Amino acid sequence: MRTAILKYNAGNIRSVQIACERIGIHALVTDDPRILREADRVIFPGVGEASSAMRYLRERGLNEVITGLQQPVLGICLGLQLLCRHSEEGNTDCLGVFDTDVKRFPPGFKVPHIGWNTIYELQGPLFEGISPEEYVYFVHSFAALISKEQCARTEYAYPFASGLMKKNFYALQFHPEKSGNCGERILKNFLRLKP
């Protein structure tokens, strides 16, 4: 099984690759459209800023590659936000896989939302064997609004979608690679999904 990690103008990609290696998966970091299309699974991680990341993807035609993928795809953190319709960060039109928008946390709340928080209302194959109210690790200032495609929810300032799922696309606002045993189980669940 071939796992590809999308390389683009964002940080945190190496830590996802190391997390895959810890569970016995060799993942290739690449921005080659052919390799991405032929992979059995694609991970779309990232820490960064939405408008510059989308500009990078569009300049290289990777926006069309991503939205056309048929195999399981996992967005992480910025990857989740870019898979949504629109982000307030830089007033950015994103990839539109998920029919929801990304908003900045309101004034009066510390941003970024950083540290451990719980996930609940868990649905779908990513969360097999995960108990509601598990703690996972977040670092973000923007969050996806609640929608019908939500598969996990968290509260900070207001309830937001900490997980999204639609067809072959899955996304997590938190960092499974930094979330201990719970995050490792979630990654394993994703990597077991059939192409």
Q: Which residue of the set 20, 94, 177, 182 is catalytic?
A: 177
Indicate the residue type of 1: M
Contacts of 170 (CB under 8 A, 6+ apart): 72, 73, 74, 75, 124, 126, 151, 163, 164, 190
- C-beta of residue 66 within 8 angstroms of C-beta of residue 84: no
Q: Residue 185: enclosing H or E segment and its boundaries? A: helix 180-191
Q: Which residue of the set 77, 84, 94, 182 is catalytic?
A: 77
Check if 77 is active-site: yes
Q: Which residue of the set 20, 113, 140, 175 is catalytic?
A: 175
- 104 - beta bridge partners? 142
Q: Where would I find the beta strands (DSSP E) of the chain?
A: 3-6, 27-30, 41-44, 73-76, 86-87, 92-93, 101-104, 113-119, 134-140, 142-144, 150-156, 158-166, 169-172
The two structure tokens encoding residue 45: 């991680």
Check if 89 is active-site: no
Residues designated catalytic: 77, 175, 177
